[in-house]
Structure 1
């Protein structure tokens, strides 16, 4: 924190502390909140003491508005100390009250903190939904400056987590523009660091270092120690990738020292892991293993599953280097188990059978059979009367007639059973055929999307060669447009899907008459339990576009936040 701001904060803190003994009820409660907010970056423990007082007083006063404030402050505090499970819990509780009381400003703030916490917990789609809703509320309320820029930064961070670095940089540049307009130069320095991270991921290491050192220079002037620690860690990481191990160790050790001193557990874990990688490259496997274990313990403690996954992989590699293959296998297996639980890639599951239709028609067949049996019994009853009148004619005639009737009755039952079994077999064959065709059409759509993507990549390559560009560019663009313009594949898919899923599109239209064809298409893919990445591939769009469309569809169908869109569509 710059000295001038620290002085201003200290003056405010001292002033509030002097007034605190004379205050009561809501005024005192607000003072507790202010002290918690002002102290959190300089004295975390004291800040928590005031927060606890705020929570106790809010419960005593039993005013929902202040309870929601207390929950929000708890959510932010646990986010700040990297306890993301508790941060998620308290922010969700706060959000419920904010919605109930229609407190839009506190709501978008809580959604913002929730989104960051969800990202670190590996809940990436939920994180995107939280950030998008927060951004929509800010735009609705006309929020500008830091508030708007923070949303752009958080969405950029999430896109980077999803390896979409180009889209991530677009959001970072939006944020930079907002910060520049608002005169928030310090936040622009943070953007430089973020863009450096993306260049790092794209393996543009020289550019990454250029952005990192520019950002570092600014934060050293402001003495923002945690930001300095983050950038030092990033610089050390680049030198590690370039095998400049002495430089890497120098910057990482300085980062670790600052992170430990200022109590940022997540940074301690990340830097510890990177130091472990340095020792591994140096061949000091025991020291490397020690660091990986420490980093893993911190990851478990803070709940940062997305960043903790690599620790298991590194431990497996280190145990293998030490010749302990049993433990190497154990941690390798653990890595993949955790990976599947965090980044679960949903695949196409079995299409639901036409159970309702099948059961209905089965019941109709049973009713028809019963009618035939009743009719036969009535005939038998009439014949019983007849046999009584003809009893005198002789028992032999009676037995003959009864025998014939019984045989006819048994034959009729047998015939009806055979017919019913044939009908059921036909239904099953139809269902199997529809499922097969639907799966085939789905695969075809995926293949088509893959073709389009490959074609686009070829276009990019052609751009690099002027000669090829002149000859092939126009022809390929026309081919691409023609391929994308054909909607026959979707119409065939939709016809099979509608039959298998019992007029799914009509049910959607009954809920919302103005639903578009694109929204029906998205809903159909979600009904088939396709993942976001699979849908993005089929529609030839970016994954975040699918997430935005899901958010808009959920809103259009008037589903509340607690209702899962996929589960709702599966009930139709």
Structure 2
């Protein structure tokens, strides 16, 4: 334990200057290997792996291989847990998120057998990040919260707790819960200020700045971006500065400071080229194109868009490719070249549909493969059963020949029972196989329905956004229509907010994560209404009274009354918290 405390302190103190001290840090870590035992070596190799991944891939792979050798030799659950976590990080770095998820889950399964809850917390956080990268935000939140609960309970290394807070905040931001996200980012900020962790403090400031910019607070965003950038400059962290400087450009663009914005984008491109960050370079190029389009310099915009598109096509960056198709189409439309605009609009639609359907289609393909594999396994199992039965039959025949008259009847009876058993087993296997086939067919059908539901939901949202933008344009063009158009927008927002279709989509996704939740409620209260089930579902998602009120477009007092009635209907005593009770279902 003493070694681990000193080791963690060493890692923190040596991480302050990222570029100047990086090689020195690697050398110092390597020197610790000489006197370390197997458990300590695994921790050191993991740190060496983290220091070299992304920069020296061969060295990182060698450290990962060393971890695997030790974990296999010692058969230690702790060593295996740490190895599979590092393996998951490596796979995630290569964007193989499914393999990465599998490794993180293996890491957790080993670490749960140990007493090292802090290492387990670390793996939960990694799995949360993995789920977030796959778009499974509910699942990501669950694992991040598990990690935080362990960290807070054991008063662990505050810097790692700060990372947990950053992760939770990021998920809240993806749910558009910006105030909640900011709350967690500020918790992380306070930790890093107290502990002097400059790199992570800059990361916290950067995320706060992104939130401020999303909420239209561009000046506050610029202030935080510049604070973060000053730390990155101090640490000579060129790689981190590339995206941050690009974000500064976006913030100035939102203030219509086009020239200043362009200067930051050009600096971001230079930094990205120095560090080989193709995607950062692409984003900055695309932003320069957008700025040019904004001031009606359409040819200049295309001069930025086309090189960015080439980078996206060569790098397999399909989402960026799709966005660039749309931007080029809009530029050609503004130039009056409608044939080219139509061509690129078509490319955008094809690319967008492909990206949108890819994940769900992949899940359906996996289910179909699983279904076929299970079908083959069932057939093989049936064959094995038939061979076994035939062998039994052969034994019975051999026994029959050696028996005298009086024993013949017994042998025949035994044979009859064997045949009967054989037929029963065949019948049983057939029924089991048919049931399994039906289960997989249902799963596949469910995924297809989910795809349809997602598509319809997207269409509804796009229609709503288009109508909203048209109303805003009317206000912009005719200020005298402000009152009329404003009332129309308010009505439109209320209509969208209270959409039953959105509730149905939410209910479908919710049922996948929380099986039979509504049935459990109906068991407790047969007369429970659909509105009360909806309220219970939102509470199960840990939404606050204020958030539920905003979602349902009612006053918070109304939600409090509804909660009281629901608690009474479910026959919950006064001392029991309603949300805590629902979390147990």
* TM-score, scaled relative to structure 1: 0.55
Q: Please state how far the C-alpha of 1:502 moved relative to its aligned partner.
A: 9.8
Structure 1 counterpart SS, 2:59: helix
**What residue in structure 1 maps to residue 352 of structure 2?**
335
Matched-pair contact (CA < 8 Å) for 2:19–2:235: no
Q: Please state how far the C-alpha of 1:199 moved relative to its aligned partner.
A: 1.9
Q: Please state how far the C-alpha of 1:236 moved relative to its aligned partner.
A: 1.4
Question: What does 1:541-552 correspond to in 2, within 5 Å?
Answer: none
**What residue in structure 1 maps to residue 152 of structure 2?**
139
Question: What does 1:277-426 correspond to in 2, within 5 Å?
Answer: 277-278=290-291, 280-281=293-294, 282-284=297-299, 285-294=301-310, 296-297=312-313, 310-311=323-324, 313-314=326-327, 316-318=329-331, 320=333, 323=338, 324=340, 325-332=342-349, 334-335=351-352, 338=355
Question: What does 1:69-468 correspond to in 2, within 5 Å?
Answer: 69-80=82-93, 84=97, 86-101=99-114, 103-143=116-156, 145-264=158-277, 267-278=280-291, 280-281=293-294, 282-284=297-299, 285-294=301-310, 296-297=312-313, 310-311=323-324, 313-314=326-327, 316-318=329-331, 320=333, 323=338, 324=340, 325-332=342-349, 334-335=351-352, 338=355
Q: Please state how far the C-alpha of 1:146 moved relative to its aligned partner.
A: 1.2
Q: Please state how far the C-alpha of 1:234 moved relative to its aligned partner.
A: 0.7
**What residue in structure 1 maps to residue 523 of structure 2?**
507
Matched-pair contact (CA < 8 Å) for 2:305–2:324: no
Q: Output one character per residue of 1:490-524: Cα deviation in whole Å (capped at 9) or x when no partner.
A: xxxxxxxxxx99974253699xxxxxx98995259
Is the radius of gyration larger for structure 1 or structure 2?
A: 1
Q: Please state how far the C-alpha of 1:222 moved relative to its aligned partner.
A: 1.8
Structure 2: give runs of 5+ residues left out of the alignment: 1-13, 361-515, 542-546, 557-576
Q: Structure 1 residues 61 and 160 mapped into 2: Cα distance closer, same or farther (>3 Å)?
A: same
Q: Structure 1 residues 19 and 137 mapped into 2: Cα distance closer, same or farther (>3 Å)?
A: closer
Q: Output one character per residue of 1:504-546: Cα deviation in whole Å (capped at 9) or x when no partner.
A: 4253699xxxxxx98995259999xxxxx9997239699xxxx
Matched-pair contact (CA < 8 Å) for 1:508–1:520: no
Q: Output one character per residue of 1:307-365: Cα deviation in whole Å (capped at 9) or x when no partner.
A: 8874564355356555331441341364367458889xxxxxxxxxxxxxxxxxxxxxx
Q: Output one character per residue of 1:362-408: Cα deviation in whole Å (capped at 9) or x when no partner.
A: xxxxxxxxxxxxxxxxxxxxxxxxxxxxxxxxxxxxxxxxxxxxxxx
Q: Structure 1 residues 235 and 155 mapped into 2: Cα distance closer, same or farther (>3 Å)?
A: same
Name which of structure 1's ranges 20-29 and 61-70 shifts more when overlaid on structure 2. Answer: 20-29
CA distance in 2, matches of 1:193, 1:11: 27
Q: Please state how far the C-alpha of 1:225 moved relative to its aligned partner.
A: 1.5
Structure 2 counterpart SS, 1:203: coil
CA distance in 1, matches of 2:112, 2:262: 49
CA distance in 2, matches of 1:506, 1:168: 34
**What residue in structure 2 maps to residue 556 of structure 1?**
584
Structure 1 counterpart SS, 2:216: coil
Q: Structure 1 residues 113 and 254 mapped into 2: Cα distance closer, same or farther (>3 Å)?
A: farther
CA distance in 2, matches of 1:265, 1:218: 23
**What residue in structure 2 maps to residue 406 of structure 1?**
none
Q: Please state how far the C-alpha of 1:232 moved relative to its aligned partner.
A: 0.5
Q: Please state how far the C-alpha of 1:68 moved relative to its aligned partner.
A: 1.7
Equivalent pairs, count: 382
Tell which has more relative contact order, 1 or 2 (C-alpha 8 A, sep 6+).
1
Name which of structure 1's ranges 211-220 and 32-41 shifts more when overlaid on structure 2. Answer: 32-41
CA distance in 2, matches of 1:46, 1:541: 59
Matched-pair contact (CA < 8 Å) for 2:286–2:305: no
Matched-pair contact (CA < 8 Å) for 2:325–2:345: no
Matched-pair contact (CA < 8 Å) for 1:292–1:315: no
Q: Structure 1 residues 271 and 503 mapped into 2: Cα distance closer, same or farther (>3 Å)?
A: closer
Name which of structure 1's ranges 80-89 and 64-73 shifts more when overlaid on structure 2. Answer: 80-89
Structure 1 counterpart SS, 2:127: helix
CA distance in 2, matches of 1:254, 1:501: 53
Q: Structure 1 residues 105 and 266 mapped into 2: Cα distance closer, same or farther (>3 Å)?
A: farther
Q: Please state how far the C-alpha of 1:73 moved relative to its aligned partner.
A: 1.0
Q: Output one character per residue of 1:163-191: Cα deviation in whole Å (capped at 9) or x when no partner.
A: 33222222222222222233334433333
CA distance in 2, matches of 1:290, 1:154: 35
CA distance in 1, matches of 2:538, 2:166: 32
**What residue in structure 2 maps to residue 522 of structure 1?**
536
Matched-pair contact (CA < 8 Å) for 2:85–2:104: yes
CA distance in 2, matches of 1:318, 1:334: 18
**What residue in structure 2 maps to residue 67 of structure 1?**
80
CA distance in 2, matches of 1:190, 1:502: 41
Structure 1 counterpart SS, 2:156: coil
Question: What does 1:12-31 correspond to in 2, within 5 Å?
Answer: 12-17=25-30, 29-31=42-44
CA distance in 1, matches of 2:555, 2:236: 42
CA distance in 2, matches of 1:308, 1:164: 28
CA distance in 2, matches of 1:111, 1:313: 38
Q: Structure 1 residues 339 and 239 mapped into 2: Cα distance closer, same or farther (>3 Å)?
A: farther
Matched-pair contact (CA < 8 Å) for 2:285–2:305: no
